[in-house]
Amino acid sequence: MKKILFAVIIITLAVGGYYYLKIDDAKTGESPENQKTVYSKNDVGLQFEYRTGPAGYVVEERMPVDLGTGLARVILLMRTEDSAKTPPMGGEGPPVIAISIFENTKKQFARTWADENAQYSNINLAQGDISEAVVGGANAIRYMADGLYASENIVVAHGDSVYVITGQFIDADSSLRRDFAPLVSSITFIKKPGQE
């Protein structure tokens, strides 16, 4: 009888311990909504972290068509749910987080570059104050702008590039707006090929 009681206690403890650990793992493990991945490209000197999965983003890279603009690359982060939709003919696409990378051959500061390139920085549509910021250890400017979509804008001058980071949103509580700050906080600049 003692052996049976002892076996029942051991089995109960084993099963209880197993479920306790499973529940603890579920609490600390990442749910599909919080899965993150790292975008890292040496040729543009940029690395950042973003959410993936059904509630996250899909990254799309676009190369410039007009090479005379100094635009080297555009990185678009589109909500996964929006990436499957086709924009209406002649209509606008959904709001996105965009990182446009420009050559900065004149080695201009962020504010000077933004003022001289208002068609890309949207600084002429700024609402409120333009403040100084630091992104990835580099000096930057930050401002809100209005247009087809309201947007948070950050212009960073780093090395021989200018990074224009734009988070578009329809309403102040949108997931794009909430995800913009963590993405910007995760940005680090990495060495480009040929840099020391």
Q: What is the pLDDT of residues 94-123, one digit of tens each?
A: 999 999 999 999 999 999 999 999 999 999
Q: Please check whether residues 77 and 18 belong to one and the same domain.
A: no
Interval 149-162 mean pLDDT: 95
State the Cα–Cα distance between residues 180 and 165, nearest whole angstrom.
Answer: 9
Q: Please check whether residues 4 and 76 belong to one and the same domain.
A: no
User: To the nearest whole number, what is the mean pLDDT of the chain?
Assistant: 85
The domain in which residue 110 lies consists of 32-189
- Please check whether residue 21 lies inside any domain of the structure: yes
For the cut 80, the answer to whether the pLDDT of residue 145 exceeds it is yes
Compare 74 and 17 and report the one with higher pLDDT: 74
Q: What is the pLDDT of residues 8-46, one digit of tens each?
A: 455 554 555 444 444 444 444 555 567 999 999 999 999
- Please check whether residue 153 lies inside any domain of the structure: yes
- In 137-165, which positions are buried (b, 16+ CB within 10 angstroms) versus exposed (e)? ebebbbbebeeebbbbbbbbbbeebbbbb
For the entire predicted model, the pTM comes to: 0.80
Q: What is the pLDDT of residues 123-135, one digit of tens each?
A: 999 999 999 999 9
Q: In the chain, how many domains are there?
A: 2
- Please check whether residue 194 lies inside any domain of the structure: no
Q: Please check whether residues 37 and 26 belong to one and the same domain.
A: no
- Please check whether residue 87 lies inside any domain of the structure: yes
- Please check whether residue 106 lies inside any domain of the structure: yes
